[in-house]
């Protein structure tokens, strides 16, 4: 609204805060170790936020038992879950919170890795391959 006064024009902004109308998007899981994962996401579309997002609620569920852990992420769009069981099926979802919590995203399922030795060996093989390719490129006559 614009109000007129003897001093000049001034603006009055009315803000309406409510729960977000949609969930965070692009929820992804990145393996950090056989027992930890980094969950990342993006905020809901700006037109669905209904105010300033204060925090995110991140819910992890162990599929076999149904056990759930809910954590709060304040000021960030990522959360590290550590000390998970190896070779277990989990699923995770995220909700944005303004004055109240909005809807959760769809569950993102994942299975933790088998054991650290296999992961390390696989990483070392990948590094060796990359190193070999770099050396081959550098040794090529120009």
CA distance 57 to 74: 9
**Closest C-alpha to 82, from 25, 128, 39, 49:** 39
Per mean pLDDT, which of 27-31, 114-118, 134-138 is the most reliable? 27-31
Q: In the CATH scheme, what is the homologous superfamily, with its name and number, of domain 1-111?
A: Immunoglobulins (2.60.40.10)
- On whether the pTM is more than 0.75, the answer is no
Confidence bin at 31 (pLDDT 50/70/90): very high
| Burial (CB count <10 Å: 0-12, 13-18, 19+), residue 22 | middle
**Closest C-alpha to 28, from 17, 42, 45, 47:** 42
pLDDT (tens digit per residue) in 60-112: 999 999 999 999 999 999 999 999 999 999 999 999 999 999 999 999 999 99
């Amino acid at each position: 609204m614009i109000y007129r006064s003897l001093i000049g024009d001034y603006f009055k902004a009315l803000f309406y805060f409510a729960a977000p109308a949609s969930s965070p998007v692009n929820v992804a899981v990145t393996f950090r170790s056989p027992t930890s994962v980094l969950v990342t996401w993006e905020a809901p579309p700006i037109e669905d936020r209904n105010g300033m997002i204060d925090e995110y609620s991140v819910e992890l569920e162990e599929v076999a038992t149904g056990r759930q852990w809910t954590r709060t992420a304040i000021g960030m769009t990522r959360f590290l879950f550590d000390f998970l069981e190896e070779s277990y099926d989990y699923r995770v979802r995220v909700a944005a919170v303004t004055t109240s919590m909005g809807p959760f995203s769809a569950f993102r399922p994942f299975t933790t890795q088998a054991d650290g030795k296999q992961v390390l060996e696989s990483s070392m093989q990948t590094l060796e391959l990359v190193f070999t390719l770099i050396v081959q490129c550098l040794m090529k006559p120009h």
